[in-house]
Amino acid sequence: MPILTLKGISQEFGGLRALDGVDLEVEEQQIYGIIGPNGAGKTTLFNLITGIYEPTEGRIFFRGHDISNARAYQVASMGIARTFQNIRLFQKLSVLDNVRMGSYGVTRSGFWECMLRLPRCRREEKQVTQEAEELLDKVGLLEKKMEYAVNLAYGEQRRLEIARALALKPTLLLLDEPAAGMNAGEKAELMELIYHLQEQMKLTILLVEHDMNLVMNICERIAVLDYGRKIADGRPEEVKQDERVIQSYLGVEA
């Protein structure tokens, strides 16, 4: 059974159709790429899945549950984590706190437990801190754990966002142009990191990117969006040869 299913998803903003009847099926432990030119509706698709918008038409299923109308925090607590195209860190929190914050959805201690440091809170704090440090180690930021997030270099901020998303222990991870603004070397490094994380943590990853070559290497399956419509989907080599894709997307280069 696919872990994520989108059926006939459309989204309108004041008469403007940002997405038009998009279907998508993501299998467990796949790295699934979504590509398309700017304004194709990729980020809108992410915002729909993560509950920031509600779809105008269509339904979204995550492991068989209908999450079309779920709120963002509910979606997160179900195990869907994400990063943002325009990095959204908690700038004036430490790097460590950013990652500890990421585990909010998988911890439970409430107001009284936190204020009085009752056993559950103490246990969770310890565990969350330890896990956060492990994650920071994985993305190579452990030494900077006490820095303010805002003081990190650009590439480090991107990696921190990924670490924060992973703290939620997601089964599905949504990465919105994680390599945007990086140079070729950094991009390759990041893709390697993503690839390793996926293997280690048995993640399903949905990856938005408009650099097609980048996606070709690590994605098992790719969907192509153009003007809010899905114009192709399949294995990278299939997509590469698709007439419509070449026309609308690669046309410029070909």
Partner 1 sequence: MFLEQLLNGLTLGSTYALIALGYTMVYGIIQLINFAHGEIYMIGAFVGLFMVSVLGTNIIVAMAGAMVFCMLVGMMIERVAYRPLRGKSSRLSALISAIGVSIFLQTLLALIAGINTRSYPNVINNRTFDLGFAEVSLLQILILGLSALLMIGLQIMIHKTRIGKAMRASSQDLDASYLMGINVNRVISFTFAIGSALAAAGGIMVGIYYNAVWPYMGMMAGLKAFAAAVLGGIGSIPGAMIGGLTLGVLEIMGVAYLTSSYKDAIAFGILILVLLIRPQGLLGQKVAKKV
Partner 2 sequence: MDELLTQYIDPYYLRLLILIGINIILALGLNIITGVTGQLSMGHAGFMSLGAYTSAILSMQFACPFWLSLLAGAMVAAFFGFLIGIPTLRLEGDYLAMVTIGFAEIIRVFFLNFEPGGKAVGLAGIPQHTNFLMVFILVVVIIFLNARLLNSRVGRAWYAIRENEIAAEACGVDTTRLKVMAFTVGSFLGGLGGGLYAHYMFFIRPQDFGFMKSIELLNMVVLGGMGSIPGTIIGATVLTLAPEFLRIVAEYRLLFYGALLVILMIFRPNGLLGDVRVYDIRKRWFRKEVQGHANINS
Residues that bind partner 2 (CB under 8 A): 50-52, 71-73, 76-77, 81-82, 84, 88-93, 97, 100-107, 109-111, 114-117, 121, 124-125, 128, 146, 164-165, 167-168
Contacts 24+ apart (CB under 8 A), 134-140: 135/99, 135/163, 135/166, 135/167, 136/95, 136/96, 136/99, 136/163, 138/163, 138/166, 138/197, 139/163, 139/193
- Nearer CB in complex with partner 2: 172/222: 172
With CB under 8 A as the contact rule, the residue among 5, 52, 129, 134 that binds partner 1 is: 52
Q: Is 154 in the site for partner 1 (CB under 8 A)?
A: no
Q: Does 180 bind partner 1 (CB under 8 A)?
A: no
43 binding partner 1? (CB under 8 A): yes
Q: Is 166 helix (H, G, I), strand (E, B) or coil?
A: helix
Write out the E strands in 83-203: 172-176
Q: Is 13 in the site for partner 1 (CB under 8 A)?
A: yes
**Percent of the chain that is helix, strand, coil (3-state, to 5):** 45, 25, 35
Q: Look up tokens 């990924």; give the residue.
A: 162
* Residue 73 binds to partner 1 (criterion: CB under 8 A): no
Backbone angles phi, psi at 51, to 5 degrees: 80, 10
Letter for the amino acid at 55?
P
Of 11 and 68, nearer to partner 1 (C-beta) is 11
**Closer residue to partner 1 in complex, CB, 46/249:** 46
Distance, CA of 124 to chain centre: 25
Say whether residue 98 binds partner 1 (CB under 8 A): no
Select from partner 2, partner 1, none the partner in contact with residue 93, using the beta carbon and a kind-dependent cut-off of 5 to 8 Å: partner 2
Q: Is 62 in the site for partner 1 (CB under 8 A)?
A: no
Give the interface with partner 1 as residue ranges (CB under 8 A).
Answer: 13, 43, 47, 52, 84
